[in-house]
């Protein structure tokens, strides 16, 4: 899973990792992205990590913020 490969060497509590993984999966599912690693899934993972580092720990809120950021930027490719 892409999000795990990007945060495996960073300091996150186990609970945060669970939240991040769930939010990442929800965003990818919402956007119709597969589980395979691609530029799009990497961009989603980086946004998930960015918001988690800012302290967002609720999975629904994290998902919503990432989706909003993607929408504001004009799509995953624009991140």
Helix (H, G, I), strand (E, B) or coil at 75: coil
User: How far is Cα of residue 39 from the mean position of the Cα atoms in its chain?
Assistant: 13
Q: Give residues with Cβ within 8 angstroms of 67, minimum separation 6.
A: 27, 30, 31
Domain boundaries, the chain: 2-78
pLDDT tens track, the chain, 79 positions? 555 566 666 677 888 889 999 999 999 999 999 878 899 998 999 999 999 989 999 999 999 999 999 999 888 876 6
Residue 16 and residue 38: Cα distance in Å, rounded?
23
Whole-model pTM above 0.85? Answer: no
Cβ-contact 37, 19 below 8 angstroms? no
């Amino acid at each position: 899973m892409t999000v795990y490969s990007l945060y495996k060497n960073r300091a996150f509590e186990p609970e945060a990792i669970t939240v991040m993984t769930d939010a990442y999966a929800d965003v990818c599912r919402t956007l119709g992205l597969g589980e395979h690693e691609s530029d799009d899934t990497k961009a989603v993972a980086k946004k998930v990590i960015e918001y988690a580092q800012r302290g967002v720990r609720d999975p629904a809120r994290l998902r919503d913020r990432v989706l909003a950021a993607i929408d504001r930027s004009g799509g995953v490719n624009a991140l």
